[in-house]
A and B are shown apart, each in its own frame.
Chain A
Amino acid sequence: EAQVTQNPRYLITVTGKKLTVTCSQNMNHEYMSWYRQDPGLGLRQIYYSMNVEVTDKGDVPEGYKVSRKEKRNFPLILESPSPNQTSLYFCASSLARLRETQYFGPGTRLLVL
C-alpha cells in the first residue's frame, strides 16, 4: 500500500530536549515536505526537499533542521524545542513537484512543556 508514515504520532516533551520526528514514504517520490498546522494559521511549510541531499527552507524554518540522506526518509529535527513549537506536524511527498498530488502522513501531535 502506498503511504507516508510518521513516528511518533503523539509526543509530549520538555523545553530543550532534542527530538526527531521520522517520515518515510514507499512510493519512490522525489519531493518531500514538512508542514505545521496551528489553529487560525492554517498550514505552514517548514522545509522541503526536491531529492536526496537537496533541501530548502519553507516559510517557517526557524528552530528546525532536516536531512535527506535517502530518498524514502525525511526526518524533522528539533534541536532545542520550545513551547511555540507545540503543533500538529504533517509530512508529505509527491512524485516530483507540487503539481503532482501530495500524499500526506497521518500527522504528529507535539506538545512542548
Chain B
Amino acid sequence: QKEVEQDPGPLSVPEGAIVSLNCTYSNSAFQYFMWYRQYSRKGPELLMYTYSSGNKEDGRFTAQVDKSSKYISLFIRDSQPSDSATYLCAMSANDYKLSFGAGTTVTVRA
C-alpha cells in the first residue's frame, strides 16, 4: 500500500463549478501538507501549505487537513479553464522529505 493515495481521475467540471480533490495517507508522522499544481510539460508549483490539522484559505483555494482521519482536501471555487491542470497532494514528516500522491488531472470546461 502506498503511503499517499490520490484518485487520478480524470475530473471534468463546467466553468464556475467547485472542484473537490482529496488524498488519504497512512503515515501518522506526516504533519506538513501541501498541494501542488502542474501544467502540462511544466514543473509543479506550490499552491497551498498547511501545518497540522485545520483549514487554510487563499483566494479561490481552500485546503483542509483532518489528521484524525488521515485525510486532506483541496477545494477550488468558481473554477476557471485556466485551473485545468494536474493537482498533486504532498506530505512530509520533517519539512524536508516529501511524499506525493499520484496526482489528479482536472479539466474545467468553458
Chain A positions within 8 Å of B, measured between CB atoms, are 31, 33, 40-45, 48, 50, 56-59, 90, 92, 97-99, 101-102, 104-107
Contacts and interface: CB of A to CB of B under 8 A. Distances in A.
B96 A98 contact: yes
A99 B51 contact: yes
B98 A42 contact: no
8 contacts: A40-B8, A40-B102, A42-B101, A44-B100, A59-B99, A98-B49, A98-B96, A107-B43
B43 A99 contact: no
Interface of B: 3, 6, 8, 32, 34, 41-46, 49, 51, 88, 90, 92, 95-103
B23 to A, nearest CB: 11
Contacts of B43: 90, 92, 104-107
A31 B84 CA distance: 29
Given A48-B98, A99-B51, A107-B43, 18 more contacts: A40-B102, A42-B101, A42-B102, A42-B103, A43-B103, A57-B97, A58-B97, A92-B43, A97-B95, A98-B92, A98-B95, A98-B96, A98-B98, A99-B49, A101-B45, A102-B46, A104-B44, A107-B41
